[in-house]
Structure 1
């Protein structure tokens, strides 16, 4: 059931982002605005529309040549063989030389969005990585990206455990949420959360749920099982 919910959420997120870009397109009034729309469309995999926007760049614009070349690249790209290796090499070189956004776009063009997410996370762009994971990756790959984000949020350097809990909730990692609440000494909240999960069938009673629950709501020596 959790997997089905995750898939539905991903579909809804992608549709929402596409609708959002469409609204931005309608309102665009400058080159920078158009470029932003094209960049978003490339990340979302909407290459045909992205090419149309790239080709709208006027000849007197300093970016005309680059945008024209990018449009040609997007229309002729293939996701296998020597071209993929070359593009991946160029993308990693771009990222290493400070062109993170451009490198990520190239990786997405050859269906390497998972690699793109890892690079974004490596360079501290955690929110962008999460967004890209939700709109381009399958549920399993997206889950891996978001779990790494949750681990980062829990690290001593960041210590945003409340936000990490929200990320884990979105993934259906209910046992982990209970454990985190317990580790934050929010014992009552952890017990109530476990109770609700058990009640609605999204969690099965086991040793972990017993430990998180029984000390607060069960008499001594009893358990949920």
Structure 2
């Protein structure tokens, strides 16, 4: 639209014998505005075409980000994942530790890992409540400190049911799974960068909430509600 209006203004200036570089007086500005208003009023299709182009450009931008994110996450060492990076199938899940629908899908993912050549990448975006951020930072810091411990933490909080996330409860969990709580706390400042990047990527993909899934290149906004549904997507 801006390019279109600039074109009209340029044409108007030339028709009036006015240089683009020259400053415009009030009368000239009014004349130009009147010409533009009249032109647009008599050619409304220009607005429609401009809006359509803007929409196409935005869709192309989102699609490009979509493909780049898939490629980056499939080879990333920054995100927790199960399976092999070169697996035939993949699931990228944007999740929150407090997302009930995300928890419901976990058994489906576990079963699929046994039946398919599959990679599952977990991308944490804390969006549901304040403690989601705390768990996201702790989980990412634990992954960066000791990847083998991360999925014990993940399984605890992704099992359906309300899990306490206060400091004492989390300390007790770390002791149970054999993780070093103090070492993980020291890692949190650096882990925040990954979580913040996850959130930026979610903006690029226009994610409105969790779960958000990319399965073999197919975007799914919302939860998989049965294992049969997951199988149909993987096929």
**TM class, shorter-length:** under 0.3
Answer 1 or 2: higher relative contact order, Cα 8 Å, separation at least 6.
2
Rg bigger for which structure?
2
Q: If each structure's helix is expressed as a fraction of its own residues, which one has the higher value?
A: 1
Identify, as 1 or 2, the structure richer in strand.
Answer: 2
